[in-house]
Amino acid sequence: MIYQGKQKIWSEYQKEIPDDHWFYVRSCIRQSFFPGAEKHFLKITRDLLGKDIYETEHHTTCGGIAYHCDTIPQETAMTIVARQFALMTEAGYENLVASCITSFGNYCETIETWREFPELEARIREHLWKACRREFKVPKYVAHASDLIYKFRGEIAEKAKFHLVNKATGEPLRIVEHIGCHYSKMFPHKGVGGAEYPCVLSGMAEAWGGEVIDYPERRHCCGFGFRQYLVRANRGYSMSNTHKKFESMEPYHPDVIITNCPGCPFFLDRWQYVISETEGKTYGQNGYGIPVLTYEELAGLVLGYDPWDLGLQMHQVAVEPLLDKMGVPYEPSKKYLGLDEKEIMKPGLPTVLKCC
Amino acid sequence: MDFGFSLSPSSAVNLDRTDMSLYEMLCDREPTARTCIGCGSCSATCTASAISGMSVRKVLLGIQRGQYREVEKMLSHCMLCGKCTMVCPRGVNTRHLILELCRLYGNSEGEL
Amino acid sequence: MTGNVAVVGGGIAGLETAVRLKALGWNPIIIEKSSSLGGHVAEWNCLFPDLAPADKLVKELVDAADGIEIHTDTEIASIFYTRKSYSIVLSDGSRFMCDSLVLATGFSLFQAEKKEEYGYGIYDHVITNRDLELWFNTGSDERVPSDPKAIGFVHCVGSRDIKAGNTQCSKVCCITAIKQAIELKEKFPKAEIYCFYMDLRLFGRKYEDFYIRAQRDMGIHFIRGRVSEVSETIDGRVFVKAEDTLSGKPLRVSLDLLVLMAGIVCNRENTTLAESISVQTDEDGFFRSRDNITHITESDRPGVFFAGTCTGPKTIPETLAEARSAAISVDAYLKSLK
């Protein structure tokens, strides 16, 4: 692997990310999958870095899931997107940052489609006006939330309490980065580092002390694929893709997988359980799985936030081996306590996959 | 545990794990086998093709891709009429090729 | 009139045109931007379909050009058309008048790193056709392993590829891949060699024989399917994904060396040159001939002629034949001025 070759490509795919004043739109599913992730994005950008990140309770889904499942037509999806833009415009913002990769892709796709077909944009404006009497400006900049954390990776590294380094050996942790398909495969120039060798996550991992693994199936989709997962009879296709990735990354003994999409971390995490039950196989050390984190959760760990406040107990694969390697302190007895210090119920243990 | 779904088998051909020894043995006995260009003349003209799925083109490709069972099934439908040999633009001796392949299958019964 | 003819480009097309013009009694002046003559051919080791040495061809042409005024490391700084002749100032400060111009500016080899998915410049054992020829010449390239077990060739890299900006077939790569595959098989008899192709376009005399030889005598495998993606395995080998379109199945193989057949694309400098002398380039960036059947070597502008691959991908014999044709056309034009 010639690292300078990648750096050359990265230099060609650096997008402009404004420093401040963002209108934030959340994901539909991340708050239940990874409840601490979005909260800590706001905590890091607002409280720690002092940025102006605005959000409103009036925003809805971007329609991406329905759009990608073919249950709503494109014009409907675009009208939903137009409404988000209207909320942004009304709040006085020009920069839109999306928590979800599919939303990010959806916003980019909508804006690009309007650029090519201005008559469609005019029609959507009409739809939106008829539906809710709103008007909008197209955002000046659209970013994914991981773009912002990438931009601020240096500041985060400066404030780091822990590093992506094995405390016992001093070796950098081996990081698998997995990029959501809709981040840059549709529009390579809208992703940091492009589509073939994105550096939005690898840049974070390296800035925080880790070593990024480039394994043969790195670019492969996690397998979520919307319809592949949502129809139970098709779930084997979804899992087979994830399985392919695990088989490919296994020889590199990754310490953690980081992701920037709502679906990928969920499936990379949960399928490890299903694969262990059906195939009897686990991919981490000593019968554990490979912990799968969102980039916000990883940033949170690096900055020293409590793992249980970050919501890491909501992961299927136990994160404790990673915490131990990084030297992050945690209280095992508090893993399943809620904010009010009361038990939030403990999950049952899998038969094969070792969990704490 | 039954989740109501399971891993789907991959249809991909992995050449790292494909045993080419049968193909090599065949080429030793019938060197013209190597010059096939996959044009499909043989299959188009084959008496058995339309009714049985026999295809000399697929037979030759199949033994290079490790699809031994499929090849064996196809071979059993050949009637050795020789029409495929007549139409081959590369002069592949397809009739001899099939005979030799049948012999190789016969010699290594159960192993392929 | 001066009898001077400016020949832009010192590759085989420019050299051959100049040599022929000289023989016809005119005074050609070769302007070559690089420091040596022979262009791309000078970098090549040997040539299809007879494996003739490239350096011999270049040497013959250079020797034949003895006595011709040649400016290397030189480009045209400015050019003006005045009273039926061209006033040229070169970057080395020299200036002269000429009655005619032959553009023999050749092609550029497609930059393989633009096909990011193939990982040229990123993965340790991915090289181009040009790198391989240089390796044949010098024997030194760390990317070529000493004892490869499996080698792949990817045809049509940057050719027939709308997204890479080149719709044209580069014409010579299929036969070059076969030539290079045979040469590598001779050097590494135990290696399995795979050629991944979309179509095999073996149009020339003896080319098909060369192909049959590669199949029958060398056991080279031809897989009909374009490589979609390349990555690196844990032991640093090259992992390739393609579809075996003849069996309709995805295909995977790991290799010790992958050779990208970078195609022929237009010389980007054609556009600026074309503007300065009011000739046209086509959408693909190659010069536009007056007619694509009967007047390939002629531009729309009187006195300006083309030779070789500046009007599209060509083989060496085609280039040489066109150079001679251009010389004859220049000769007729200059005689008409008298």
Q: Does the pLDDT of residue A255 top 60, yes or no?
A: yes
Torsion, Cα of C44, C45, C51, C56 (10° steps): 90
Q: Over chain A, what is the mean pLDDT?
A: 96
Six-digit token pair at C246?
A: 């003849």
Q: Chains touching chain A at 3 or more Cβ pairs under 8 angstroms?
A: B, C
A281 neighbourhood in chain B, CB within 8 Å: none
Distance from B7 to chain A by nearest Cα, in Å?
5
Ranges of H-type helices in chain C: 12-23, 54-64, 129-138, 173-187, 207-216, 269-277, 316-337
B3 touches chain A (CB under 8 A): yes
State what percent of residues in chain C have pLDDT above 70: 100
Distance from C-alpha of C56 to C-alpha of C61, rounded to nearest angstrom: 9
Any idea what the Cα angle at residue C117 is, between residues A145 and A4, rounded to 5°?
Answer: 75
Note down the domain range covering B64: 21-104
Is C141 near chain A, with CB under 8 Å? no
Residue B42 placed within a domain: yes
Selection from A52, A53, A54, A74 nearest residue A63 by Cα: A74
| C4-107+266-337 and C112-264, same CATH topology | yes
What confidence tier does B111 reach under pLDDT thresholds 50, 70, 90?
Answer: low
pLDDT digits (tens, 9 = 90+) for A35-56: 999 999 999 999 999 999 999 9
Residues of A whose CB is below 8 A from C253: none
Residue B41 lies in a domain: yes
On the question of pLDDT at A65 being above 60, the answer is yes
Provide the pLDDT for residue A227: 79
pLDDT in tens, A260-295: 999 999 999 999 999 999 999 999 999 999 999 999
pLDDT tens for each residue of C21-72: 999 999 999 999 999 999 999 999 999 999 999 999 999 999 999 999 999 9
What 3-state DSSP class applies to A176?
strand
Residues in chain B: 112
Position B69 in a domain: yes
> Edge to edge, what strands does the sheet with A174-178 contain?
A211-212, A174-178, A256-259, A292-294
pLDDT score, position B109? 58
Check if the beta carbon of residue B27 is closer than 8 Å to that of residue C219: yes
- Tell me the per-residue pLDDT of C250-279, one tens digit each, with 9 for 90 and over: 999 999 999 999 999 999 999 999 999 999
Nearest in space to C248 (alpha carbons), one of B71, B11, A220: B11
- Residues A256 and A227 sit within 8 Å (Cβ to Cβ): no
Cβ C90 vs Cβ C30: under 8 Å: no
Q: Find chain A residues with C-beta within 8 A of C114's C-beta.
A: none
pLDDT tens figures, B56-102? 999 999 999 999 999 999 999 999 999 999 999 999 999 999 999 99
Residue B6 lies in a domain: no
Residue C12 in contact with residue C58, Cβ under 8 Å?
A: yes
Q: Is B8 contained in some domain?
A: no
List, in order, residues 6 or more apart from C137 with CB less than 8 Å away: C43, C45
pLDDT mean over A204-229: 93
In a domain, residue B100? The reply is yes
- Which of B:76-95 have CB within 8 Å of C? 90
Does the distance separating the beta carbons of A244 and B4 come in below 8 Å? Answer: no
Chain A residues with CB under 8 Å of C116 CB are: 9, 194-197
Helix (H, G, I), strand (E, B) or coil at B14: strand
- Measure CA B29 to chain center: 15
Q: What is the mean pLDDT of chain C?
A: 96
CA distance A210 to C98: 65
CATH class of C4-107+266-337: alpha beta
Q: Cα separation of C95 and C172, whole Å?
A: 37
Q: In C, residues 155-194, which contact A (CB 8 Å cutoff)?
A: none
pLDDT at C198 over 80: yes
Structure tokens, C226:
């374009």
Predicted confidence band of residue B112 (pLDDT cuts 50, 70, 90): low
Interface test with B, best of A240, A248, A267 (most B CBs within 10 A): A240
Sort residue C31 into left (φ over 0), alpha (ψ -120 to 50) or beta.
Answer: beta
Domain boundaries, given as residue ranges, for chain C: 4-107+266-337, 112-264
Separation of CA C109 from chain center: 6
The structural domain count of chain B equals 1
Question: Residue B83 belongs to a domain with what CATH number?
Answer: 1.10.1060.10
The per-residue pLDDT for range A131-149, each reduced to its tens digit, is 999 999 999 999 999 999 9
Residue A33 is predicted with a pLDDT of: 92
pLDDT at position B108: 67
Kindly report the pTM of this predicted structure: 0.95
The answer to whether the CB of C226 falls within 8 A of the CB of C196 is yes
The rounded distance, in Å, linking the Cα atoms of A331 and A312 is: 12
Span C112-264: which CATH code? 3.50.50.60
